[in-house]
Chain A
């Protein structure tokens, strides 16, 4: 009985998840577009979220982060 070792894609072997891989592919494609499509697509990548650490059931402080997709 040979153990079935599914051929893992190189990015998973390097510790990357599928979503990370897919997002990297998408942002690379967006970076190769002609204007004005490029600036339209750039708006799609912007992420805006607030992070707060909790301690003893209360939020300590919240930092608002507005990242554009960056590795």
Chain B
């Protein structure tokens, strides 16, 4: 298996090198926006039912994705969604700091395209002088080339909705469970509990 690896690697590299000016598969933000109307369908519709308006397709309702600007924009557009509601939608901000598994990551306009997995931690949105902080349980952050940042989380609460006494109690509980855990699964669950509660603790004090 590994004897072929060097051959495959060089083939992939030279293939990439030849097409280095134009990537073989463009990023979604570099593609032209899909047309909101299918002209062939609309023409066929008008032939059959000229008095009825053709139905709109979902694409007609969607706003086209903003293209990648040639110069670095001055503001970041943030979308922050939860499964049950959309917290921030198309807001222009200066910076967001996301709690990635690799550490707190600051996203400024012009940030390189990134997909970051989030760990339990504090997400802060900086706009001028005001900072809005949310505690995020876990999720992902997608930074696109056109300085649009999409953050998806399962659960996110403003930091002032966290109850400190419950956090302390949970931390003590799970630390104790971690010490008494036997199976791998129990240890993992207890470790998750300890991680989440210590992150909550840090969010309350930080």
Chain A contact residues, CB within 8 Å of chain B: 1, 3, 9-11, 13-16, 21-26, 28-34, 37-38, 41, 44, 71
C-alpha gap A3/B185 in the complex (Å)? 27
Contact between B2 and A32 (Cβ–Cβ < 8 Å)?
no
Decide if A32 touches B163 in the complex (CB within 8 Å).
yes
Cross-chain contact A11 with B157 (CB below 8 angstroms)? no
Asked whether, in the complex, the Cβ of A14 is within 8 Å of the Cβ of B185, the reply is yes
CA distance A3 to B1 in the complex (A): 10
Contact of B162 with A24 in the complex, beta carbons under 8 Å: no
Interface residues of B (CB under 8 A from A): 2, 5-6, 84, 101, 120, 135, 137-139, 154-155, 157, 161-163, 166-167, 170, 184-185, 187-189, 191-193, 196-197, 200
Contact A32 B138 (CB under 8 A): no
Query: Main SS of the interface on chain B?
Result: helix
**CB–CB B166/A31 < 8 A:** yes
Asked if A33 meets B162 with Cβ closer than 8 Å, knowing A22-B154, A25-B192, the reply is yes
Residues of B with C-beta under 8 A to A11: 188, 191-192
Additional A-B contacts beyond A14-B187, A29-B135 (19; CB < 8 A): A1-B6, A13-B188, A14-B185, A15-B184, A15-B185, A16-B188, A21-B138, A24-B189, A25-B120, A25-B155, A26-B154, A28-B137, A28-B170, A29-B155, A29-B157, A29-B196, A32-B162, A33-B161, A33-B166
> Complex Cα distance A29/B185, Å?
20
Give the interface centre of B139, B170, B188 by most chain A CB atoms within 10 Å.
B188
- For the complex, what is the distance from the CA of A66 to the CA of B170, rounded to whole Å? 26
When A13-B184, A32-B170 are in contact, do A24 and B155 touch as well, CB less than 8 Å? no
CB of B169, distance to nearest CB on chain A (Å): 9
Q: Is A25's CB under 8 angstroms from B196's CB? A: yes
Residue of B nearest to A33 (CB): B161
User: What's the nearest-Cβ distance from chain B to residue A47, in Å?
Assistant: 13
A1 to B6, CA, bound (A): 9
- CB of A25 within 8 A of CB of B154, answer yes
Cα separation A14 to B192 with both chains bound (whole Å): 12
Q: Which residues of A contact B137 (CB under 8 A)?
A: 22, 25-26, 28-29
